[in-house]
Amino acid sequence: MSKHKPANKSAPAAPPVEIYYLLLTCPNRPGIIARVASHIFECGFNIADTRQFDEEDTDRFFMRVEFNPVREGADIEAWKASFSVLADEYDMTWRVRAQSQLSKVLILVSKFDHCLADLLYRWRIGELPMEIVGVASNYPRETFPHLDFDGIPFHYLPVTRETKMEQEAQIWALVQQSHADLLVLARYMQILSDGLAAKLVGRCINIHHSFLPGFKGARPYHQAHARGVKVIGASAHYVTAELDEGPIIEQDVERISHHHRPDDLVSKGRDIERRVLARAVRYHVENRVVINGRKTIVFTE
């Protein structure tokens, strides 16, 4: 797990050592690890952690590296410049982020606020290294009287079937104005249009309150109760145009019995949803997730 001190929202002292997270994917061939590792070392950095994965079905290679400067004058911009040459040679898709350059996150929510409250709490105590650039809801601010937004802008974006297009345009404008690089649907009970979903590929995470692929669509706990399953779950996934079919980032479950009414499942589900969503968001903002077609590769600790 992270060795770095948790990010602190209130103007932290600069960490003594910057850490960079590199994620890359390319067609598999021998020697990539050696090349990447050597390049990083030769540029004056040390590899603190690296994980890789060969996807056999597509013969693609995936890699995540945490590295930090160890030599006087090690410069990330110079590194990027020279690495891009190497990357071209191997036909890599890649991105690198400094740990201190926090992910900018916009949260969408409807009236159930357990995921929102949990994300805010974890962010506040430094468990989620991100900057929350806004909270938007189709419900007004008064819906959340007990939540302290702590200066985070709140946007009330009501929606009806007739105004959905306009409302989504507002969401999109918010994303752009706030430079959000992640949109989190924290029990946002509206289905994004294909158009908006398409603009947010790979940077919009939804929490679905069932153990996908079981019980897609509406009222999954009621579906689970009707089917008589003995375990329920929740799934955090990237949003795609196909409803509840996006690449799954994280799932978890809890055991239930015939005693549990749909309302009980909703209650148990709150616990599962909030921890599954928090983990998925953390994996994303720590640059641990790569989308691989309909699936994800998650380089956990």
Nearer to its own copies (CB atom), residue 26 or residue 159? 26
**Judged by CB under 8 A, which stretch of 75-83, 139-147, 162-170, 174-182 contacts its own copies?**
139-147
Provide the angle, in degrees to the nearest 10, between the axes of the packed helices 76-90 and 32-42: 160
Residue 59 annotated in active site: no
* Calpha distance 99→175 (Å, rounded): 22
Nearest to residue 283, comparing CAs of 248, 258, 259, 253? 248
Q: Helices 262-285 & 220-227, crossing angle to 10 degrees?
A: 130
Does 2 sit near its own copies (CB under 8 A)? yes
Q: Residues 30 to 59: which contact its own copies by CB under 8 A?
A: 30-31, 33-35, 37-38, 40-42, 45-56
| CA-to-CA separations, 140 to 135, 136, 154, 211, 268, in angstroms, rounded | 11, 9, 9, 30, 26
211 is a site residue for its own copies (CB under 8 A): yes
- Does 146 engage in binding with its own copies (CB under 8 A)? yes
DSSP assignment letter at 143 = G
Between 97 and 114, name the residue whose CB sits nearer to its own copies: 114
Per the structure block, which two tokens stand in for 205? 């995470």
- Per-residue exposure over 109-133, b if at least 16 CB sit within 10 Å of its own CB, e if not: bbebbbbbbbbbebbeeeebbbbbb
**214 binding its own copies? (CB under 8 A):** yes
Q: Work out whether 220 is an interface residue with its own copies (CB under 8 A).
A: no
Q: Kindly tell me which residue out of 248, 277, 281, 285 binds its own copies, with binding defined by CB under 8 A.
A: 248
- Per CB under 8 A, does 252 bind its own copies? yes
Q: Which is nearer to its own copies, 24 or 297 (CB)?
A: 297
Applying CB under 8 A, does 230 fall inside the site for its own copies? yes
Q: How far is the CB of 163 from its own copies (least distance, A)?
A: 29
Contacting its own copies (CB under 8 A), which of 244, 250, 273, 286? 250
Residue 124 as a binder of its own copies (CB under 8 A): the answer is: yes
Question: In the stretch 256-295, what mask flags binding to its own copies with x, by CB under 8 A?
Answer: -xxxxx-xx--x--xx---x----------------x-xx
Of 7, 64, 26, 17, the residue nearest 45 (C-alpha): 17
Element (H, E) at 134: strand 130-137
Choosing from 113, 118, 181, 244, which is the catalytic residue? 244
Whole-number Cα distances in Å, 127 to 2, 4, 120, 124, 200: 10, 11, 10, 8, 25
Binding window for its own copies (CB under 8 A); candidates: 15-23, 26-34, 89-97, 166-174: 26-34
Question: Residue ranges of the alpha helices (H) in 179-217?
Answer: 194-199
Active site members:
244
